[in-house]
Amino acid sequence: MSPYKYTLQVNDRIERLVGAARHPMSRAELQAALNLRDRSSFIHSYLNPALEAGLIEMTLPNKPTSGNQRYRRTSAGEALARKLMESNK
């Protein structure tokens, strides 16, 4: 059984995002860490798929549009990050 919440395929974009999310970060911080400029594309192609896959989560899930919103890895995201680091050795 997959450790991911959904059967959504984890692609290189999601892997990059999970790798960058080493600590709770805002959307802008994550976007900057990945050197991406277009906010809409980042949300559609990186952030939402990672949230749907259960690899990252909101720190304020009841306030998704809050200026204080941060995103952090879930336990499944941590497992993926460890796997990615091991494969890069």
Q: CA-to-CA distance for 51 and 79, rounded, in angstroms?
A: 15
Domain ranges in the chain are: 12-87
Question: Model-level pTM?
Answer: 0.85
Q: In this predicted structure, what is the pLDDT of residue 55?
A: 96
Over the chain, what HEC string results? CCCCCCCCCCCHHHHHHHHHCCCCECHHHHHHHCCCCCHHHHHHHHHHHHHHCCCEEECCCCCCCCCCCCEEECHHHHHHHHHHHHHCC
Q: Judge whether residue 19 has pLDDT over 80.
A: yes
Q: Which one has a higher pLDDT value, 57 or 11?
A: 57
Is residue 84 scored above 70 in pLDDT? yes
The CATH number of 12-87, from 1.10.10.10, 3.40.50.720, 3.10.129.10, 3.30.750.24, is 1.10.10.10
Q: Would you state the pLDDT for residue 1? A: 39
CB atoms within 10 A of CB 76: 19
Give residue 89's pLDDT.
67
pLDDT digits (tens, 9 = 90+) for 27-73: 999 999 999 999 999 999 999 999 999 999 999 999 999 999 999 99
